[in-house]
């Protein structure tokens, strides 16, 4: 199977080739022909890292009329980082096509700048729900020509509490609009959104019945609170050149850990909700361009982040919610690569470990870090 046989235009394929995206992934194979063809309401569920962005992004680009300067498509993403990432991917896909303008808008950046940016021709808006609602209220966007609304990482949007915003936005884009929903998981709240805002006969694609990517090895190491930092440091040293993310539950814990690891001369920094957008961008850039080897993050700050070749995810603190464990682990083993998800467990976490194992039906193997 090739992108050309799925109906993708030559100029996009040329750009894809340069990005080493040559063979469509299963979710792309199943989504693209329908979305390019009928393209009515659509629901896709596929594990993290399986190429959902291109699965909707390419058909979306095929549907844009570059001659019209109206906003024709809207992509909603749960976080600013993810929004920027999606906009960037679309930009890369259009390297050899007629100019298609995508604007990413999100909270934490000056709204005035975004308002004036939206006065330029813009065919695709990528937005976080909260900021889009603000822009709608300020009459800064005209969504009346939107043909497609994409809800990307819909599950994460709901766990971040965007239900009210989503409802408001979807009220504005009814009419001739089709809604495409992409999600790694299908919690009950998503089913409600689907029931309320998508057509009853929406086309459905489900890839893999497992919520977890099969290429991830799950392990834990038992440590005492007072030895935890040293055990983590040992593990990071053992990783050599390999890169990864380290998760904490709270902003405070992430900040402290960053300080402690920097003292040990580790190339690391933390992203969390207390940082200004500019600071977050700077850290993400440093991590992506590999001047940082390890990224410490809180659950919220890390949503949807796609960094290539992450060998591992370390849970310095275990999350309370099983869903968070899925999302964290999904940062590794992307694009068909293998990855490790390692928990730094203290005695008090035993119950939570069992719970995760049972709920996800996975084996988590004990290892010793030395």
Q: Which does 50 bind (CB under 5 to 8 A by kind): ligand ADP, Mg ion, none?
A: ligand ADP
Task: Give least dist CB 22 to ligand ADP, A.
Answer: 6
Cα 190 from Cα 181, distance rounded (Å): 10
Choose the contact partner of 129 out of ligand ADP, Mg ion, none; CB within 5 to 8 A by kind: none
At closest approach, how far in Å is the CB of 86 from Mg ion?
A: 8
Closest separation in Å from C-beta 50 to ligand ADP: 4
Q: Does 331 bind Mg ion (CB under 5 A)?
A: no
- Inter-residue contact 184 to 155 (CB < 8 Å): yes
Shortest Cβ 231–ligand ADP spacing (Å): 30
Nearer Cβ to ligand ADP (90/222): 90
Q: Minimal distance in Å, beta carbon 85 to Mg ion?
A: 8
Determine the size of the site formed for Mg ion (CB under 5 A): 1
From residue 294, give the alpha-carbon distance in Å to each of 285, 300, 308: 13, 17, 13
Between 102 and 114, whose beta carbon lies closer to ligand ADP? 102
Residues 6+ apart with CB under 8 A from 239: 311, 312
Question: Among the candidate windows 48-56, 58-66, 187-195, 265-273, which touches Mg ion by CB under 5 A?
Answer: 48-56
User: Mind giving me the DSSP string for 31-100?
Assistant: HHHHHHTT--SEEEE--TTS-HHHHHHHHHHHH--TT--S--EEEE-SSHHHHHHHHHHHHHHTTTSS--
Buried b (16+ CB within 10 A) or exposed e, 14-45: ebbeeeebeebbebbbbbbbbbbeebbbbbbb
If the CB atoms of residues 105 and 154 are measured against Mg ion, the closer one turns out to be 154
Residue 334 contacts which entry, ligand ADP, Mg ion, none (Cβ below 5-8 A, type-dependent): ligand ADP
CA distance 271 to 154: 22
Angle between helices 350-360 and 322-329 (to 10 degrees): 70
Q: Which residues bind ligand ADP (CB under 6 A)?
A: 21, 23-25, 28, 46, 48-54, 306, 308, 334-335
Between residues 54 and 217, which has the closer beta carbon with respect to Mg ion?
A: 54
d(CA 144, CA 99): 22
User: Please, which residues bridge with residue 76 across strands?
Assistant: 127, 151
Window contacting Mg ion (CB under 5 A); options: 8-16, 52-60, 171-179, 265-273: 52-60
Instruction: By CB under 5 A, name the one of 52, 147, 327, 331 that touches Mg ion.
Output: 52
C-alpha–C-alpha distance, residues 157 and 165, integer Å: 10
Tell me if 203 sits within 8 A of 43, measured CB to CB: yes
State the nearest-atom distance from the C-beta of 53 to Mg ion, in Å: 5
3-state secondary structure of 343: strand
76 binds, options Mg ion, ligand ADP, none, Cβ within 5 to 8 A by partner type:
none
Q: Would you say 20 or 351 has its CB closer to ligand ADP?
A: 20
Nearer to ligand ADP, 218 or 334 (CB): 334
> What does the binding site for Mg ion look like in residue numbers (CB under 5 A)?
52
């Amino acid at each position: 199977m090739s992108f050309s046989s799925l109906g993708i235009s030559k100029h996009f394929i040329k750009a894809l080739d340069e990005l080493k995206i040559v063979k469509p992934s299963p979710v792309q194979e199943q989504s693209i022909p329908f979305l390019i063809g009928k393209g009515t309401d659509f629901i896709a569920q596929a594990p993290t890292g399986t190429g959902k962005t291109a699965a909707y992004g390419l058909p979306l680009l095929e549907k844009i009329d570059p001659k019209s300067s109206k906003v024709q498509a809207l992509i909603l993403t749960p976080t600013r980082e993810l929004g920027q990432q999606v906009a960037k991917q679309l930009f890369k896909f259009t390297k050899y096509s007629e100019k298609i303008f995508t604007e990413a808008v999100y909270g934490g950046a000056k709204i005035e700048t975004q308002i004036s940016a939206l006065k330029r021709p813009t065919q695709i808006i990528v937005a976080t729900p909260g900021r889009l609602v603000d822009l709608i209220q300020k009459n800064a966007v005209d969504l009346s020509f939107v043909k497609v609304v994409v809800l990307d990482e819909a599950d994460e949007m709901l766990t971040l509490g965007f239900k009210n915003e989503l409802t408001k936005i979807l009220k504005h884009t009814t009419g001739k609009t089709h809604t495409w929903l992409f999600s790694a998981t299908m919690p009950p709240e998503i089913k409600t959104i689907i029931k309320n805002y998508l057509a009853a006969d929406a086309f459905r694609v489900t890839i893999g019945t497992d919520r977890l990517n099969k290429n991830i090895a799950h392990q834990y190491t038992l440590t005492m609170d007072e030895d935890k930092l040293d055990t983590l440091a040992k593990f990071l040293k053992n990783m050599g050149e390999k890169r990864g993310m380290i998760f904490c539950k709270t902003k405070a814990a992430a900040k402290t850990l960053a300080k402690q690891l920097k003292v040990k001369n580790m190339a690391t920094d933390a992203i969390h909700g207390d940082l200004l957008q500019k600071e977050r961008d700077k850290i993400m850039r440093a991590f992506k361009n590999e001047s940082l080897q390890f990224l410490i993050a809180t659950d919220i700050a890390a949503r949807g982040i796609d960094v290539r070749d992450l060998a591992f995810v370390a849970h310095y603190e275990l999350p309370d919610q099983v869903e968070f464990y899925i999302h964290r682990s999904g940062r590794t083993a992307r694009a068909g690569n293998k990855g490790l998800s390692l928990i730094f467990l203290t005695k008090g976490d035993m119950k939570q470990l069992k719970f995760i194992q049972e709920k996800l039906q996975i084996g988590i193997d004990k290892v010793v870090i030395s």
